Amino acid sequence: MTITIKKSRIHGRGIFANRDFKKGEVVLKWDSLLGELNKNIVVSSPGKHLNHSCNANIVEVDGKNIAVRDILKGEEITCNYVKDKVPFLKMECNCRSEDCNKIILGELFN
């Protein structure tokens, strides 16, 4: 397994790399992480543990999360909810990155 789920300093549980990933490498594929329940899209594990960071290390491209920089073994894998266009989102950010926006607003609130 290339990833693991464990306690995150950002929020609850997070996804962590079990090995190094190179920039441009596929980290997660969403085709196996999405389901449907009562006409609503449901994100299953491990995808539901993908935390936000204003300085994310992956980006979504065509249903896959691609490393935007090298990711080291043991590092939390994070995405940027704003750049990935999560629509109904308004929350305080806890990523602690140097360029943190403090508040995350999805595309419907921007």
Question: All domains of the chain, ordered by start, with CATH?
Answer: 3-81 (2.170.270.10)
Whether the Cβ atoms of residue 93 and residue 6 lie closer than 8 Å to each other:
no
Interatomic CA distance for residues 53 and 64, integer angstroms: 18
- Tell me if residue 32 falls in helix, strand or coil: helix
The residue type found at 54 is C
Convert the pLDDT of each residue in 34-85 to its tens digit.
444 445 444 545 767 889 999 999 998 888 889 999 999 999 999 987 776 6
